[in-house]
Structure 1
């Protein structure tokens, strides 16, 4: 594979191509395709050409299955009539029912990631389609007498030993579904704790067990795979939730009485959203085609997994959560915030509504250096830090739980290991939810979240910001207490607050969606829900806090005794671009409640048309330089955001294809212009030899400061010269 680098201070173009013919064909040819303006503008990387796939720049960092699309049709459409779809000459076949209304997984053969997003763009424009989005890939976020209980420092941090005197999880049966990599059923610390589960991984290669879906959720670990595999992640998570406790063996689980339903959805390289949705809905008691219904639906679901995409990018995910929350057993869904030291609003399921999103703390009750943060965090729980031993117990300060050693045999392979991550924090809270459900079976996610947040111990600004020395990406801004949600869970206080059958009057604010990207001059609407508990019926007055200059909100109604209000968020023209943490505050009676919202003020909308856009084929020499005299360009005059192009009479050889809209008319490629190239899924410019069709280019906004280099062999002068 040949790679070329055209260097200049502002922008580096990496060119990748399959081997060129030593003797290129004689004669002249053409290059043709389609140019598209980004439907939702992002920004062109200031250091390398990283144009997002067709029309979906917000999904650049997301992973998804090429050729697979999750589609929801309007209720009037019979799924039998859409078993096969033809979209732009590509055939999509319906392959999997997700257990959601009129929603299925479709697959097209031989389509790459860019082609998948183009299919989604076309499907989204159809009148019979409610939504179409990728099949995203998600990955794991990594005083009893039990032998190793003394090493479980993380339990005392949340006052769990004291809480066990109030409720140990044996008052009423509670079932917790661990939606993860499966489980090592033979581990002795799961004796008597497991209920029948299911393996929902449909791809045999991902499953790493020789088949697709089956009734055996055994965690296969790393055996037989050189790729990223499970590492017994689900086994570790399940041990924190409910390992057999007070059995003179191993470790203690948070809930002594809870039973575990292992639901296997992650394998080699993670798992697909379609499989995860199927596993979630099945565990909660909903029907999934081809799978026997669960005997006893789960009351708590733990998802220590996620992907870098907003929940609004995958509405099927939110649909699944809504359907689960509507089940009669009132399930509580607990999810990990993510381990990227990033805004949790950019990840799913952390950014979904109707779930409890958990960040991680370490031994000092600081936010763990890796933990995601921001307005979508509800509470924090111990996730550990395996790089240090701050408590001087001669072991790293990770979370200790059940594990397997593939190198050992017999009983020696069932071990206990320290891991760190929000994946380890989430099952702490799932176990607490199981304790709360054992004490009060009618508890739902709204009341549970209200109690957990009211009784949590806030982290200070410095504790949330994280005074650590571990080398890791630091947050993009100084964090404050609110970026760690309500703080560290306090199990004793939560169970005490739960009290008897009648909770104290209270309310919780929820917002949907939890994040938004709005361009200057635009607006967006949100539903602010007022979840009232314990007979709370006071008037609630709503307001927006922390808004930057140019951002305002109107609530309809503003003061209400109802259960919801519509908030319209307005972003004035000229508002500075960036990501902001906003707070919606509700005051009623003597109570004040808040809910966070992440707002990204983006670039202005794309130009109304491609008219005036230059599409260029730049001739690349054998040394990697561009020969402007052998390069050609055409100017589009179509008054649209999607138009064909054809560059003819090209000499045989290698070309890169670029498109440029000179928005400011200054004759140079500068900030605010639109730029794009023919790239692969990694964003590398591909070499093209004429004659070639289907060379499609997606354009996005150039963001940065100053002009590009004006060196003769650099990028800046090339396009203006062709536009003469």
Structure 2
């Protein structure tokens, strides 16, 4: 523990984490207990016990040099000359704010409107900016520049209205990256994805001299029947804008030109931002704009003008004058263009989803009846941009008014909770996104079955609690059976997903009878096996209820290496395995923990609910993968029955056999394979064979990101179906890379290990390839390797606050501030009298006295998941080590929980 040069008030932080979910609860999250590496070798004293350990930080994690944290040693990075140098695989955590916006802190009064970073990038790399605040109130933009002569030129921009921006680099070179506060204040994460490790981004960098927009030109329009015409006309009259073409009238658009006077443009921009009369009179140009060439200055102003004019609400449509394209479809080629697909790649490739989608795409005609998946869970964030177009009805069956947290009992609104005081987990939203997030739309994440529709049925209330009676009523509703709502859905669900369960409860005959009735309606039921196991210590818990009921497809969880996850329950009732993750480790090549990435929400400081994305782990996360695959089968063959699916399952046509041959208590019938399942459904359809009669060999994953420190990763060569194709050779094209077969059969199929030796590499980014030659074709596995310069990757991400909570009362019992030393943070907190505690650590870059907000670093012992694991104290505990990662990107839990604990003063 470093010395404490700060008053205790500066350490009075609270965390954005909520308490663990209760007995009949969502099955996401951790499992497993905390072992004591150091042992309970000290009985302590009457003054309490000591907990200690080391907090580690990924080598590519970087902190903005001038956050709002008053305890940070600040180094300004506000312009091109002072740009902060970072590596090409960095993940940056930071803050920006306009003057007098956001929490009070180091940059509150003067503002910190820009952060600049200097980085050398390779072609194909993607910059991904996420920020935590409500984008309707606070908004950030992403700009990229290159040096041209004695000035800088704009070569890329992303200035939308959501809480994320992205930009893809098209040519190698040195770039200056700007995170700009267009409005308000926010935490942010800037992730630099390696070439091949990110999905396509619709915004791309151009060459120097190519205009991003037509400088000084805007397009603005009004919807037919709008009442905004008067306000729009008044705004135009007050602004330095002139109409070139079109009309300012309902149902029309106009082309506008900005004033030729830069001073007038600056005043107009400030007026749109609500500046004071004094600020309008001065209208200074930001210092960093002095270094831009004239065309780039006007292009940036045009982009800012479009965004602020749009935010004014006076128009229904505002864009800079340049081409804008948007598209979305139900079935398309993989990888999809969704910005965050790269963070889902490992779990979707593990179930052969890309091959399944190609098989569906090859169908002569696409079906018109979209399958429906009922999600019996905590409800859904109905306005989430990746879910709002996928919802088909729904209902709230939480009967207990206190648990419901929405002012009453059952009702027709399945929306998740709108208040952070009600402790929403957004568990159902995460599950729903895995099943059917809108895909091929250039934003957010992808769903397993994007053609499916979602029927959210809210059965779990505050804290993830629920009653089985409510669940039974929702299950009846989903199947189109009589229920307490007195209503029936317009069309019953094809699949019911239950990512929930109760530990230690046997299934009864009456429940199995109901499930049989549900199946008779044509509705298939999938449920999570539960997370109570501690497989690392040899303890395997039984399958939870209702997954242990006959007629239910019980789903267990795998990790990124296709092994059974350490927390996953097992037993004879297990039917299938699917990706559930293990967030204790980061092996999937993205530099982030091995969690399941999907849709989520959080609450900004003002209490507004904001749609976002993040990771969970658990059998809850595995189950929607299977539900999505069943929806794919219903899309391929709408007439397929639950009994036919059972037969295909037991015949091995839905899965790859892992574990013991045939059915076993760990994997069930095996790891679900979406490609095999789709082909099996097509084979049943009117006796017509699938479009692809013979399988092919594929590599999974198709790319490996070694980041700055990873030295070995594995990939697998497998067949998508029966095939005579064989592997002829596996080779690499770099002296720093070696490939070795780990477990390979006579056809060359199996697991291969790729090892990297950086000792002979110069500083920089390398993208070698593995070439797999088969008897038919050539496959390429792309690699990304970063060699850092000496002294970089120090593991210093600024001040970190360690909080110890009493597990019984959920109150802080000890806290401390630690600084990095030797690339890690070592903490030791004494005087703890509680018998059982949670240990959480994180940063507070925005200085709002809340650690672990979305955009900050966070961790918990032993792993931060959907539940916190208590540490029992009967003596001093050492070796309580854990990982700190960015919240909302590398760890979803703190991003999805409300700030439910009070500040200690």
TM range (shorter): 0.3 to 0.5
| Larger RCO: 1 or 2 (CA < 8 Å, sep 6+) | 2
User: TM-score if structure 1 supplies the norm length?
Assistant: 0.46
